[in-house]
A and B are shown apart, each in its own frame.
Chain A
Amino acid sequence: MNKQENKQAVKVKSNSPYKQYLLFGLLLLLIPALVKMGVIKYSFLTIIASILIYAIVALGVNLLVGYSGLVSLGTAGFMGMGTYLAAYFTSDLNLPFEISLVISVAVPMIIGVLTGLVSLRIEGYYLAIATLAISEILRKVFVEFDVVTNGFSGKDADYPKLLGTFELNRDSTFMLIVVILVAVMFITHNFINSYTGRALSTMRGSEAAAQAMGINIYRYRLLSFAVAVGYAALGGVLYIHFIKYTYPNAWTLLFSLNMLAVIIIGGVRSIPGTILGSFIVFGVPDLILKNLPVIGEIDGLAYVFNGVLIIIVILLYPAGLIQFWHNLKMKIAKGRKGKEGNNA
């Protein structure tokens, strides 16, 4: 009996979540059809697409904060840079979507690495300060460098054209976002479960242990920050090709802080938690609260909601709201075991 229980416990842990991710993606792919059928409001598709894009960005933030123990306050700047570059390459230069995508992700990553090279050498928390500065500089660039960015009026782009032939529309771009999100979930899962992922967790948990085991802390900090910037820029590219519009004030410190809120509320060190967090932080105010009578009228409702939620979560669910789900699963598993025991 005991042995069996042990085996079950092990299995639950090592079960790969790919199937769950795929199922999640398939369900999301149904949404455009549900909108057509009138089950879901037309405007909700945009909100959900934004939530999914922000989830990609937040996965990078979680990699950084949850696994590497670093904090970036520049997520907005790097994501914004992704939007502007992609808009410039596809709208102004008429470059193919794929090439624009690669450059628009690579350039912010290079700038991220340069920021990291300077700030990560001594102490991890310098990164927060350096990224805050870089992000503000970038926003200034979005405003001032108007030959490329159009200044305060912002910049437009179209839905993507894949391989130079397939012009996507609103629905198929949504589907592209879903596919990329699921791919990013897969990749992130593999990454955190690789030796590199263990190295990141180790340097977060104990710098002494990391060094004694041959982990070059500086190098791994740089790597994880570069990846987080890459995710942010990828999110930016998807954003500009779905929302089709970017402007400087979308990329403020507040946005970067919201990204931290996503992982704190959803669950640090959890992929499903990150997705959940994105739905709560960016979804609940727009999808639910705004439609409520009286409450929906309050100005700055989203801030109040997120602020209060963070406090509640930190006090009651330090592992994030995804804990609810884990507890539920445990209860179900226990219930089953109890029944089996009774039968035997």
Chain B
Amino acid sequence: MHNATHENKSMADNVVLKIDDLSIAFGGLKAVDALTFDIKEKEIFGLIGPNGAGKTTAFNCITQFYKPDRGIVQFRTNKGEVENLVGKKPHEIIRKGLVRTFQNVELIRELSVIDNVLVGSHIEFHASVLSQIFKLPKARKEEAKFRQQAEEVLRYMGLYDIKDQLVAGQPYGVLKKIELARTLMCEPKLIILDEPAAGLNDSETLALTAIIREIRDKYNCAILLVEHDMRFVTDLCDRICAISFGKLLAVGTPQEIQANEQVQTAYLGKGDE
């Protein structure tokens, strides 16, 4: 349908991620169906939709955890080049400057809080295995440098006091924060957050709104997030994309989305989802 060079030209300068015709089906179920939208640099972009609408699946298609059946995922990498992510391996994505969290918090229970955050800078480490096992200056310097960076991130997120505790046994809200902290270690261009406010109380959610804005400004990156809490999304996002049954309903500012009839119908009777 499109060829690569054509696509490269079609992505505007201020766009960081552009998905086009993204589709994936599980058996007969079209979990994501011809989804198309783009995210601009430094934008906070919300993806909303009822439970099972395909939001997480869309994230998995963007980050290549799932191979989409159709469509392209164009991304402006941290080197300034535009690349189609489709076909890349999941572990290659973060090197392009795209980092994510998971709906069901994926942290390592046996590691301390700071070690979990340090995993976020895995791609920044370069010391050889020999240098690591003999603690040669190169490995030591590297470790010290990123440990300090991790401490700064933890302080910033209000987690510094628990940095040496194990992750196992921390409350859910803290886990969500640690996972967010981990994304800040790799100089991301785009951070994808799957339900970052789930399990947080009202004041924590409010604080998270501020933190996410700050992160955008401090790290000069765009943020794509899924969230059920409508108030959280409308407060925070520059633009919102609403989907239902894998299909796009509307893209626009929070006001436009709230006023959209189709969106209202999709949410009708679904309570405060």
Tell me which residues across on chain A come within 8 A of B93, comparing CB atoms.
212, 214
Is B36 positioned at the interface, with any CB of A under 8 Å from its CB? no
**Residues of A200-221 whose CB lies within 8 A of B:** 201-202, 204-206, 208-217
Contact A198/B111 with A206-B106, A212-B90 known, Cβ cut-off 8 Å: yes
Interface pair A201/B110, CB less than 8 Å apart:
yes
Distance (whole angstroms) from the CB of A204 to the closest CB of chain B: 8
Tell me which residues across on chain A come within 8 A of B111, comparing CB atoms.
198, 201-202, 205
Q: Which of B131-139, B207-215, B262-270 contacts A (4 or more CB under 8 A)?
A: B131-139
Is B82 positioned at the interface, with any CB of A under 8 Å from its CB? no
Q: How many residues of A are counted as interface, with CB atoms below 8 angstroms from the partner's CB atoms?
A: 31
Interface pair A209/B119, CB less than 8 Å apart:
yes
Interface pair A190/B132, CB less than 8 Å apart:
yes
| Main DSSP-derived SS at the A contact region | helix
Is A115 positioned at the interface, with any CB of B under 8 Å from its CB? no
Tell me which residues across on chain A come within 8 A of B129, comparing CB atoms.
191, 196, 223
Contact A209/B107 with A191-B133, A194-B132, A195-B118 known, Cβ cut-off 8 Å: yes
- Chain B residue nearest in CB terms to A10: B164
Interface pair B112/A216, CB less than 8 Å apart:
no
Contact A195/B125 with A201-B110, A205-B111, A213-B182 known, Cβ cut-off 8 Å: yes
Distance (whole angstroms) from the CB of B201 to the closest CB of chain A: 25
Tell me which residues across on chain B come within 8 A of A196, comparing CB atoms.
129, 132
Is B25 positioned at the interface, with any CB of A under 8 Å from its CB? no
Distance (whole angstroms) from the CB of B105 to the closest CB of chain A: 9
**Residues of B82-124 whose CB lies within 8 A of A:** 89-95, 99-100, 102, 106-112, 115, 118-120, 122-123
7 pairs of A and B residues whose beta carbons are closest in the complex: A205-B108, A194-B132, A209-B106, A211-B90, A214-B123, A214-B94, A195-B125
Residues of B at the A interface (CB closer than 8 Å) are: 63, 65, 89-95, 99-100, 102, 106-112, 115, 118-120, 122-123, 125, 127, 129, 132-135, 139, 142-143, 146, 161, 164, 182, 186
Residues of A at the B interface (CB closer than 8 Å) are: 6, 9-10, 13-14, 187, 190-191, 194-199, 201-202, 204-206, 208-217, 223, 269
